Amino acid sequence: MRFVDYVRIRVKAGKGGDGIIAFRREKFVPKGGPAGGNGGHGGSIIVQVDAQLHTLQDIRYHRIYKAKRGKHGEGSLKHGKNGEDIFIKVPAGTIVKDFESGDIIADLQLDGESIVAAYGGRGGRGNGEFVTPTHQAPREFEYGRDGQERELELELKVLADVGLVGFPNAGKSTLLSRVSRAKPKIADYPFTTLTPNLGIVKSGAYSSFVMADIPGLIEGAHEGKGLGTQFLKHVERCSVLLFLVDANDENPGESYRLLYNEVEKFSPGLLKRERLLAITKMDAYVGVPKVTTFEPIDLFTISSVSGEGLDNLIQTLATQISG
């Protein structure tokens, strides 16, 4: 399944039903009073989180949502039936925006959480609602009101505790596959990972956290180069950023500086999160790599193939998240 993290849709809530003019017509009741019922309310459009979903794929093929109108009122003061609401199911981490204004309507993160994206129109009043002591036989009624109509943007940002930041082939997917049950695609060519992958990492008998393997960066990613901002927006929700640099890079310290700069140019606030640096692929490196960074940062040397340094890294990540 293709990972879809952005869609634009149009939603139209249902129109309210009309109220009616009616009078009682009963045997042995010479003067029946007004009995026009109210119209039903139109159906609303509701966006709701479904924890079983992980992509906006289904919505991609259904761009227009229309709710049904309310039924008209009836005689004997019977109100019309309300139009049925329509629920649009989305994964956790979906941001709902108004397309025209750009305003954020909701940031949906919890299973079952919902927002009314378009309200159904109110039903019109029948003449039974207009009775007063001095106006006993009203012939007034109201038409139902139109439902709200708007264009929405749905944008998904993955929810994870730890986001892996690195150049293509830095070992992000291999690390995720080693410390969790996730099965990301792994190969020895750049951009193996084209969509975010999530894995649950156990950090103790009763504790765990979510790690996100996201497509690799290249220089200029903050301007959209490579997978650019498609990647960077997914680390915005992570509480810890784990930078991964290949031990075989000519200058691992410089590689880290380039990654740092790309994240900073995209969103400086991201660098206020906890950050760790892991030098990967130690199984394929002879000796101890010389790493000089431009700033103090906790440094780990690991191998996802041999398992070297992984336990220490996982425990440190768990401590950073819980702290």
pLDDT < 70 stretches in the chain? 1-3, 27-31, 182, 184-195, 215-231, 323
Please, where in the chain does CATH 3.40.50.300 lie?
162-322
CB 120 within 8 A of CB 85: yes
Residue 221 has a pLDDT of: 44
Q: How much is the pLDDT for 188?
A: 53
What pLDDT score does 143 carry? 97
CATH homologous superfamily for the domain 162-322: P-loop containing nucleotide triphosphate hydrolases (3.40.50.300)
Burial of 53 (0-12, 13-18, 19+ CB in 10 A): middle
The CATH fold of domain 1-156: Spo0b-associated Gtp-binding Protein; Chain: A, (2.70.210)
Q: What is the pLDDT of residue 192?
A: 47
CA atoms of 316 and 46, how far apart (whole Å): 41
Say which amino acid occupies 304: S
User: What distance in Å separates the CA atoms of residue 239 and residue 157, rounded to the nearest whole number?
Assistant: 13
Q: What percentage of the chain exceeds 70 in pLDDT?
A: 87
Alpha helices (H) in 32-157, listed in sequence order: 57-60
For residue 91, CA distances in Å to 6, 21, 119, 155 come to 12, 46, 22, 10
- In the DSSP assignment, the letter for residue 132 is B
Q: Given this model, what pLDDT does residue 90 score?
A: 94
Q: What are the backbone dihedrals phi and psi of residue 90, each rounded to the nearest 5 degrees, phi first?
A: -135, 160
Residue 270 φ/ψ, nearest 5 degrees: -65, -30
Condensed to tens digits (0 to 9), the pLDDT of residues 36-84 reads 999 999 999 999 999 888 888 889 889 999 999 999 999 989 999 999 9
**Separation in Å, CA 143 to CA 122, 135, 147, 278, 319:** 9, 20, 12, 66, 61
Closest CA to 313 of 201, 177, 199: 201
**10 Å Cβ neighbour count for 268?**
9
DSSP 191: T
Phi, psi of 230 (to 5 degrees): -60, -35
Structure pTM?
A: 0.72
Q: pLDDT tens-digit profile of 273-286?
A: 899 999 999 998 88
Compute the mean pLDDT over every residue in the chain, rounded to the nearest whole number.
87
Residue 228: the pLDDT is 43
CA distances from 320 to 162, 174, 266, 269, 298 (A): 10, 22, 23, 18, 11
CA 173 to chain CA centroid, Å, is: 23
Q: Where along the chain do the CATH 2.70.210.12 domains lie?
A: 1-156
Q: Are 76 and 26 in contact (CB under 8 A)?
A: no
Q: What is d(CA 216, CA 98) in angstroms, rounded to the nearest whole number?
A: 30
**pLDDT in the model for residue 226:** 43
Looking at residue 184, its pLDDT comes to 56
